[in-house]
Structure 1
Amino acid sequence: MNGVSRTLGTPAAAVPAARLGDDAVVLGGRIVLALLLLLGWEWAARRLGLLYLAGPLDVAVRSWELVRSGELLRHTAATLAATFLGFGIGWVAGTLLPFVLLRSPRGTAAVEPWIIASMGIPKFALTPLLILWFGIGLTPKVVVVAFMVFYMIFLNTFAGLRSVDPRLTRMAQVVGASRWQLARRVLWPSMQPFVLSGLKISLPRALSAAIVGEFLVADQGLGHYIEHARQAGDTVGVFTGIALVTLLVMGLNAVLVAWENHVLAWRARRETTL
C-alpha cells in the first residue's frame, strides 16, 4: 500500500521504535532481577556463613584467580569439548533418523516404540560400562552427552515433520519437486521452530551431562573442579564452579537465541508486512 507496511494498523516506521522500547524494558528488567538476586545471595551468605554458602564477592575473587592462573580456560575448554562433540553427534543422529523413518510409515511404527522405551534407560548408570569399553577420558562423556541430546532432538524433529501440512508436500510433488527440494523448501521451513526449540532445550542438558560425567570420571573440566572442591570442603570453589557453569549456559543460550532470531527473521517480516 504505497510502500507502507502495516501491523494491525500501525505504520511500519513505528514498529522498530516500539521494539526498541520493548527491548529496553526487557533489558532493564533483567538487570534489576540480576541485582536483586546478587543482593539476596550476599544477604544469605552473610546470614549462613562461609561454611554453608559463599558470597558473590568471594566467587568473583576466586574466578579472577582462575583466570590469572589459566585454570579457567583449561577447565572450560575440556567441558566444552565434551559438550560440543556429544551435542554434534546427538544432533546429527536425532535430525537425520526422523527423515529416514519418514520414508517408511511401517518402519516408523516398528522402530519408534523402541526408541521411546530406550529413553527410560538411566544414561549415567551406563558410565561404568562406558569406562570399561572406552577407558577414562573424553569418549565416555561424549557418549553420555550424545545420548542425552539425541532423544530431545529426535522427538522435536519428528514432531516438526508431523506438523507439516500434507497439502504443501503434495503440491510440491505435483510441480515436480525432488526429495531434496521437498526437504529444503517445504519440510525444513515448516519444522524450523520445532528444531530450534529442541536445540534450546538440549544444549543446556548437554552441558549438564558433560558436567555430571566429569563428576564421575575426569582429570579436568568444570565438573572435575566442582567435585574436587567439594571433596576438599572448599565452599567457595564449589559455588565458583556453579556460577561459571551458569554463566556458560547463559552465554550459549544467548548465541542460540540470536541464531534463532536470524533464522526465523523471515517469519517476523511476513507477520509485520501486509
Structure 2
Amino acid sequence: MSGRVIEEQAAAHARRRRTRRALVWAGRIGVATGAVIAWELASGPLVRPFFVSSPTAVAQRLAEWFGSADFWFHARFTLTSTALGFLAGALLGVLLAWPLALRRVAYRIVEPYFLIAYSVPAVALGPVFILWFGIGLAPKVVLAAYFVFFVVFVNTVEGIRQVPQGLIDVTRVMGGDRWATMRSVLLPGALPYVLAAFRVTLPAAMIGAVVGEFIASNRGIGYLTRAAAGRYQTAGVIAGTIVLAAIVLLLSLSLRPLSRVLRWRPEVRLRGEDAL
C-alpha cells in the first residue's frame, strides 16, 4: 500500500514539474512575441525606423544572408577563429597552470605578472595584435585565446589547490608516485574547476574573435555587422547582433552536458567569471 502511495506521489510530482516547465516556456514565448509585436508597431509611428529598423526588415535581411553563400563563408571564418582561439587558450592555460600549481614558490613569483597581464583589457590589446599579425585569421585567434587563457589558468590553479593535502599525503604513504598522485587525486579534484572554466570561456572565445573582426577585418560576421553600420543599415546591424547572440547561445547549450558532469560536486564559483 505504501509503495502505491509513493508511486502516486511521484507521478503527481512529475505532472507538476511538467506543468511548471510548460508555463515557463509559454511565458518565455509570450514575452518574446509581445516584444516583437511592440517593436513592429512602434517602428514608424513612434520611433524612426532608421534607429531601430523593424522585425520585418531584420527578418528579410536574415533571409538574404542565410540564402547567400557569402554569409556562410563569413560565418565559417568566425567559427574557425573562435574554435582555434578556444583550443589554444584552454590548452595553454592548463599546461601552464598544472606545474605552477604544484610549485607554490614558483607560482608566487610569477603570480603578479599574470595578474598584471590579466588586468589589461583584452579589447585594448586588439589593435596591438592586429598591428603584429595583420588583419587575417591570426589576430582573431590570438585575441580569442587571450579571453580564454587567464580564466582557465586561474581556475585550474584554484582547482588543484582545493585538493586536500591529506589525500595527497595518503597517496604518497601508500606508495603512489607523482604520476599516480596526479592521476588519482589531483586530476579528479581539479577537473570540475577546469570543465567549468571551459564552459564559461567558450562563449568568451567567440566574443574575442568578434571583437577582432570589429576592429579590423575583411571577413567574419563581425565584419558584416561593422560594414552594415558603416552604411547606416540598421537592419543589418541588428541582424548581425542576433546571429552572434544565437551562436553564443548554441555554444553555451552545447556545453550543458558539462553541467550534468559537475552535479556530483558543489557549485563551483569561478574566479574571473565576472570580468568576462
**TM-score, with normalisation over the residues of structure 1?**
0.83
Is the counterpart of residue 36 in structure 1 residue 31 in structure 2? yes
- SS at 1:119 equivalent: helix
Aligned to 1:72: 71
1:120 deviates by 1.8
Partners of 1:244 and 1:117 lie apart in 2 by 34
Q: Distance in 2 between matches of 1:11 and 1:184?
A: 42
Q: Distance in 2 between matches of 1:240 and 1:11?
A: 51
Distance in 2 separating the partners of 1:12 and 1:149 = 47
**Which residue does 1:264 correspond to in 2?**
262
Distance 1:214 1:255 in 2: 24
Residue-pair matches, total? 257
Is residue 97–residue 154 contact of structure 1 (8 Å, CA) maintained in 2?
yes
Correspondence 1:163 to 2:168: no
1:5-154 to 2 correspondences below 5 Å: 22=17, 25-26=20-21, 28-47=23-42, 48-154=47-153
Deviation at 1:105, TM superposition (A): 1.4
> Is the contact made by 1:42 and 1:55 (CA closer than 8 Å) also made in structure 2?
no
* CA spacing shift, 1:121–1:41, aligned 2, 3 Å: same
SS of the aligned residue for 1:248 comes to helix
- What amino acid does structure 2 have at the position aligned with 1:44? W
Find the aligned partners of 1:147 and 1:29 in 2 and give their Cα distance: 37
Q: Could you tell me which runs of 5 or more consecutive residues in structure 1 were left unpaired when the two chains were aligned.
A: 1-9, 269-274
Distance in 2 (alpha carbons) for counterparts of 1:217 and 1:166: 49
Instruction: Render the CA deviation track for 1:38-86: whole Å, top value 9, x for unaligned.
Output: 4214313432242121333433332222111123322221111111111
Shift of the 72–14 alpha-carbon distance from structure 1 to 2, 3 Å rule, reads: farther
CA RMSD after TM alignment: 2.7
C-alpha deviations, 1:210-233, integer Å up to 9, x for none? 111101121111100110110111
Aligned identity (percent) is 31
Partner of 1:271: none
* Cα displacement (A) at 1:21: 5.9
Give the partner amino acid of 1:46.
L
Report the alpha carbon displacement of residue 180 of structure 1 after superposing the two structures with TM. 3.0
After superposition, the Cα gap between the structure-2 partners of 1:52 and 1:139, relative to the gap in structure 1 and judged at 3 Å, is same
1:120–1:242 distance in 2 versus 1, CA, 3 Å: same
Tell me, yes or no, if the aligned pair for 2:140 and 2:209 is still in contact at 8 Å.
yes
- Match of 2:52, SS state, is coil
Q: Unpaired runs of 5+ in structure 2?
A: 266-276
Q: Is the 8 A contact 1:229 1:235 kept in 2?
A: yes
Are the equivalent residues in 1 in contact too, given 2:61–2:239 (CA < 8 A)?
Answer: yes
